[in-house]
Amino acid sequence: MRTKIEVRSLTKSFESDKGRLPVVEEVSFSVRDGEFVAIVGPSGCGKTTLMNMMAGFVRPDAGAVIIDGTPRSKPDSKGILISQQGSVFPWLTVRENLMFGLNGHAQANSSIADEYAEMVGLKGFEESYPYELSGGMLKRAELARALVVKPEILYMDEPFSALDALMSLRMRNELLRILAKERHTVMLITHDVEEAIHLADRILVLSPRPTRIQATFDVTFPHPRRLSSREAQELRVAILRELGVDHEGLAPI
């Protein structure tokens, strides 16, 4: 399959009181069209900075992000970022939020918006304001707002980590269901190794700061995946070992 995203020796450092703080160092990898790539790494390692550079919000010091063969310099609606805190506009209804990124006639937009609201299970809540929704529903709205503009790439930065364990699991299944229907290229940042194994085709493990790619794992077993299977457990142990958590003392789920 053809290459969708090419990350070429991306490097970034920030100025701090103690001088230059290198955050991302010479990270290179590529993502195929329609591939689901998860990035795991220790907290504070620069995952979010890497994601922000890929989505075009932060300019790298060196290196480039090449999408469909063209270097990217700023964000656009071909790749939508979904962040941990979420960015559903609290002053707009669910429907108005979904219509936000759409061009064209209000009438047509409205019916497209409702169609996507239904797809993520928000039928009947189109007129609701975000403060009337639960955390899980808010995530659904966020996801629908991203999907409605038909992005080619989804950048997801710890999208479900603010949810409780059960809701997070539910949202993962929802995401897989939607992705089976609308094929997107997905970049997912997570600190949850199981989430990565559940969702991704490939898992990149990042090192502590300044971050680089420390290991890569292909996740080959088919969906729907059983996280309690032997191969999933083995993969989990291998990834955790890369992250510096020893196998000893790891209880199987």
Per CB under 8 A, the list member of 64, 133, 149, 240 interacting with other proteins is: 149
Residue 213: is it exposed, middle or buried by C-beta count within 10 angstroms (0-12/13-18/19+)?
A: middle
Q: Which of 53, 54, 65, 80 binds other proteins (CB under 8 A)?
A: 80
Site for other proteins in 84-143 (CB under 8 A): 85-87, 89-92, 96, 100-101, 129-132
| Beta bridge mates, 24 | 12, 211
Cβ nearer to other proteins, comparing 74 with 181: 74
- Hey, how many other C-beta atoms are within 10 angstroms of the C-beta on 191? 16
Distance between CA atoms of residues 88 and 80, nearest Å: 13
Q: How many CA within 13 A on the CB side of residue 147?
A: 24
Name the segment binding other proteins (CB under 8 A); options: 79-87, 182-190, 197-205, 216-224.
79-87
Amino acid identity of residue 49, one-letter, is: T
221 lies in the site for other proteins, by CB under 8 A? no
Closer of 22 and 75 to other proteins (Cβ): 75
Distance (Å, rounded) from C-alpha 168 to C-alpha 159? 9
Q: Which is nearer to other proteins, 18 or 105 (CB)?
A: 105
Is residue 70 at the binding interface for other proteins, with CB under 8 A as the rule? Answer: no
Say whether residue 75 binds other proteins (CB under 8 A): yes
Contacts of 55 (CB under 8 A, 6+ apart): 75, 79, 81, 155
Which positions ≥6 away from 115 have C-beta within 8 Å? none
Nearer to other proteins by C-beta: 4 or 198?
A: 4
Give contact residues for other proteins (rule: CB under 8 A): 55, 57, 74-77, 80-81, 83, 85-87, 89-92, 96, 100-101, 129-132, 149
